[in-house]
Chain A
Amino acid sequence: MNKKNNIPRLPHTFFRWYCQPERYEELHGDLEELFYERIEKSGLTKAKFLYLMDVIRCFQPYAWKKPRPFTNHHIVMFRNYSKTSIRSLMKNPLSSFINVFGLAIAIGMCVLVYSYARWVNGIDQFHENKNEVYLITFFEEREGSAQQNGLTPRPLGEMLREDFAQISKVCRIEDAPAVLKFNDNVFNEKIRFSDPEFLQMFTFPLKWGSPAGLQDRNGIILSEEMSEKYFGEENPVGKDIEIIFGKDRSKIFTVKGVAAEFPMAHAVHFNFLINFENVFLSYPVYDKSDWSAFLNATLIQVKKPSDLTHVEQGMAKYKALQNGPRNGWKASSYQFEPLATLYERGGNIKSDISRNSYESNSKSIVFLSIIGVFMLALACFNYINIAIVSAAKRLKEIGVRKSIGATRRMVITQFLSENIFVTFFALILGIILGVTLFIPGFEIQNDFNMGFTLWDRNLWIYLPCVMLFTGIASGIYPAFYISRFQVVGILKGSVEFGKKNPLTKVFLGFQQILACILIACAVMFTQNTSYVANESWGYEPREVLYADVAEDAAAYEQMSAFMSQNPNVVSLAGSRHHLGKRVSTKVLHTPPNNQYEVNELAVDPNYFETMQLSIREGRAFNKHQGSDKLSVVVNEELVKEMMLTSPVGQTFEMDSMRYEIIGVVKDFHTYSFDSKILPTIFTVADQKDFGYLSMKVRAGREKETYAAMQAQWSKLYPQIPFQGGHQEDVWGDFFEEKDGHAKFWNAVALISVLLAGLGLYGLMSLNVSGRIREFSIRKVLGAQKKNIGLNILRQYIPLFMIAFAIGGPVSYYLVGFFFDMVYAYHIPMNFWGVTIPVVVLIMVLLGTVSIQVGKVSKSNPVEGLKTE
């Protein structure tokens, strides 16, 4: 014990400090041993000095690193695995290519799905106060289903501000069209009137200027896009811009700020913001205290989200106020929609403030995910099949491994790690494919930008998960299958491998079914595009031109007088609303207490004949002024909805007036084919309210008539840009969108055919190379190409039959289901949608067989029969 005390304390403490506890015993043991020896040999002082030197010399990584005794055999093992995998990849370039490429395509698809989902779920999430800002909505009082409405009575917002201490900010919003003029540039734009709080609730960062500019009644805030449109790259703050709201109502505004480019994921946005007090410019008679008139939107901001319950409880008072005056929308209850989830729930709310696309977007996510999973499945099946069949070539290696002493678990580990290695390549290729091809393609097709970056933490969690999942899903079966063999059997050569595995057939069948479904989708969507393009609108848009006369009676007067002299114009009509451009919503009351919400189109008597709307029952409006003021023409949908047996002569109440139905018009599409036809009424429009001039033109004369109309307009109103066009173009982008869907599905189908074809090809070439001896003998005995082809084909025919028998009906129902989900009106499912995929897949099969036959017929039987 006293010996121990001889060990110098300070160096020893230092040694203890830096040395790994696990290593301390053996290392310090060595040092102590030397120390005691040296005391014997050359005395304490020298020993102490040498001990200190040793301690300093031992101050090296090996002493403080954690010992890792097992690393080596892992490293060696994996080094060996990676060697064997690279070798086997290099040895079969074809099957490796099929595997890597297939998986890469599927992973690229996953990248696309991810980026799209991220974009959709990130919408409007950048506003700092998203949890404290709420949109006021109310539920309309009606029978049956309650409709949530985002409009609010005009005085409500201001009253809430005064009544509740918890509400820190209130913002009213109105939108109106107007004409903007800067130097000689004149454009039609949409202006947003809002309280100055707008920019504090929606925290859009500004590029120039300050959000306080909105407090100035003469200030205007532009979006970046608009700033570029009018002022180019320069900073416009302080510049003046004129806004013309009507013929003699215009005002000069000073630019006070420009918003920075909106984040890619936004739904609520603006082009031009001006102070709410200017609302009189657009609506000369604007009574802010009128409970029967509604604002576009009112938003409130509370100090903390829990304050809201207090506000919710005190809403009864306002319900009474809102339901007091006799107007269309009575509230049954109020609901506050937080900005954070406003976009998500926008589909249920009737409002203009948020884009109502969440539903279709989330559907698209589901679709894309399904496609992604399908592709992954196709690629994985390819992998599994090829792995099983090519196990034959690896049997020797496995035999040797096992006889050296590898356990089954080790062989499985080997195969799985090898597979993950392959998947890793595929992942890299897939990311490249996704970023350079799929995402840009998808964006170009749908004409938007998802703002995708690779610098996204979640992406790097997601992608490795995809990789691991794919690697394990595609590798687990082959690994288990191959590792099952007994060494003795392998080395004896008595193991039956690959050729007779029923599972490969099942997988191949699955692939055919999946491909069948995807091709069927593509065929149907393509057909649907042309079907929708030729579908009747219920009116005749082809020879119709329209002009927006900006609700200006004088303008209408002059334009219609001029156009009616044009020899090409067949008939001419004025209207307050116009198909595809503007409708309004009304509520009808019928006894005892039923309410129906309908679309209203206020038109003049010529409108029906101009738009070629056909009257089914009763009559259209009389042509002399002032008649039919209390008559309506309804569409068939309304008759159906109200369950009227003899509609003509029925009455209902609307805006506290009683109206009589005088005619029924055949159903027509007010909106695009995406929306269901709604119950619609036509009323007689007052001449002073006319906002649109529509005319039917002699066929083939549309262009020149349009040019004449445009020229006349710019002669009359050089200040105001002309708004009008061909009725056919009203839904122009709708057809493009459908076309986009079809193109997208075609691309998907092409890829799936490619994958399924590749898998089939790989499988067949392995199969053929396994039977090369048999074919050589056949050839020597005089077999023709045809016989060999049939011989190969014979294995696949029953399989394909079964696959089609399942895939056909499945895709028939599935595509029908998709269509019902996505489109309100679509092509009825037909026989072609299922036949074409079957034909395509048979072609692929025959093509593959013929390639193989070509190979076999070129091969020399002598080569095939040589024994090693």
Chain B
Amino acid sequence: MGRIYLGEFEELILLTVGVLYKEAYAVAISKEISKQADRSVNVSAVHKSLYRLEEKGMLKSMLSDPESKRGGKRKRIFIITAYGKKALDESMDLRMSLRKQITDLSLKW
């Protein structure tokens, strides 16, 4: 078992969950992503990733209070776990270190 595997979209979701601290639920996340990354994300795709990340142990969740704007239903709020943070850090580090290894020469054209 080498490094923790984290897909690109999963990473995006994970980051967004971190950004929306305590307000991170599926609808908000999908809106945040479309706002920040300028890509439209369907809510079902977000659901899928969130549950997957929870199963992997990178997120944990609890239910909020009921809200009227959603027909009196509760929402599931997600929070990053320590393991999730570790996963993010590793992937960031990897990208940064690779980026730093690119010589300026190869970027001159």
Contact = CB atoms under 8 A, between A and B. Distances in A.
Partners in one complex: yes
B43 A26 contact: no
Contact of B55 (A29, A57, A68, A83): A68
Contacts of B39: none
Contact of B44 (A57, A72, A73): A57
Contacts of B71: 3-4, 28-29, 32
B73 A62 contact: no
Contacts of B61: 69
A79 interface: yes
A26 B27 contact: no
Contacts of B51: 62, 67
Given A60-B48, A72-B55, A26 B75 contact: yes
A33 B47 contact: no
A69 B48 CA distance: 14
B1 interface: yes
A32 B73 contact: yes
A579 interface: no
Nearest to B47: A62
Q: A63, A72, A76 — which one has the most chain B CB atoms within 10 A of its CB?
A: A72
B1 A79 contact: yes
B69 A36 contact: yes
Contact of B1 (A36, A57, A83): A83
Contact of A25 (B44, B52, B73): B73
B78 to A, nearest CB: 11
The dominant DSSP class at the A interface is: helix
Contacts of A28: 71, 73
Interface in B55-82: 55-57, 60-61, 63, 67, 69-71, 73-76
Interface string A19-34: 0000001111111111
Contacts of A68: 55
Contact of A54 (B1, B44, B67): B44
A565 interface: no
A34 B44 CA distance: 12
Given A26-B76, A29-B74, A30-B75, A54 B43 contact: yes
A92 interface: no
Contacts of B55: 68, 71-72
Contacts of A71: 55
A58 B47 contact: yes
A322 to B, nearest CB: 79
A27 B48 CA distance: 11
Given A30-B47, A58-B44, A72 B56 contact: yes
B66 to A, nearest CB: 9
Nearest to A7: B71
Contacts of B57: 72-73, 76
Contacts of A36: 69-70
B54 interface: yes
A40 to B, nearest CB: 11
Interface in B1-26: 1, 25-26
B34 interface: no
Contacts of B48: 60, 62
B93 to A, nearest CB: 21
A177 to B, nearest CB: 73
A30 B26 contact: yes
B17 to A, nearest CB: 15
B74 A26 contact: yes
Interface residues of B, number: 28
Given A26-B63, A26-B76, A62-B51, A57 B42 contact: yes
Contacts of B69: 33, 36
Contacts of A31: 43
Contacts of A73: 57
Contact of B70 (A29, A54, A72): A29
A213 B27 CA distance: 83
A431 B42 CA distance: 53
Contacts of B25: 26, 30
Nearest to B52: A62
A526 B71 CA distance: 87
B3 to A, nearest CB: 14
A32 B27 CA distance: 10
B44 A26 contact: no
A317 B36 CA distance: 105
Given A62-B47, A62-B48, A62-B52, A34 B27 contact: yes
B70 A33 contact: yes
Given A3-B71, A25-B73, A33 B54 contact: no
B85 to A, nearest CB: 15
Contacts of B45: 57
A69 B25 CA distance: 17
A573 B55 CA distance: 92
Nearest to A73: B57
A20 to B, nearest CB: 11
B24 to A, nearest CB: 13
A3 B71 CA distance: 8
Interface in A68-124: 68-69, 71-73, 76, 79, 83
Nearest to A69: B54
A25 B83 CA distance: 28
Contacts of A67: 51
A29 B73 contact: yes
Nearest to A29: B73
Interface string A222-258: 0000000000000000000000000000000000000
Interface string A39-75: 0000000000000001001101011000111011100
A27 B83 CA distance: 25
Nearest to B57: A72
A68 B52 CA distance: 10
A71 B52 CA distance: 11
A58 B30 CA distance: 14
Nearest to B49: A62
A68 B70 CA distance: 25
Interface string A659-673: 000000000000000
Nearest to B83: A76
A54 B41 CA distance: 12
A3 B69 CA distance: 10
A796 to B, nearest CB: 43
A25 to B, nearest CB: 5
B7 to A, nearest CB: 15
A63 B63 CA distance: 17
Q: B52, B73, B76 — which one has the most chain A CB atoms within 10 A of its CB?
A: B73
A436 B8 CA distance: 51
A27 B47 contact: yes
A667 to B, nearest CB: 76
A95 to B, nearest CB: 25
Contact of A34 (B43, B52, B76, B83): B43
Nearest to A61: B48
Contacts of A4: 71
Given A30-B26, A36-B70, A60-B48, 16 more contacts: A26-B25, A26-B63, A26-B74, A26-B76, A28-B73, A29-B67, A29-B71, A29-B75, A30-B43, A32-B71, A33-B27, A33-B70, A57-B43, A62-B47, A62-B51, A76-B57
Interface of B: 1, 25-27, 42-45, 47-48, 51-52, 54-57, 60-61, 63, 67, 69-71, 73-76, 83
6 contacts: A32-B70, A33-B27, A54-B42, A57-B45, A72-B56, A76-B83
Interface of A: 3-4, 25-34, 36, 54, 57-58, 60, 62-63, 67-69, 71-73, 76, 79, 83
List the 8 shortest-distance A-B pairs measured between CB atoms, nearest first: A29-B73, A72-B57, A57-B44, A29-B70, A26-B76, A33-B70, A58-B44, A32-B71
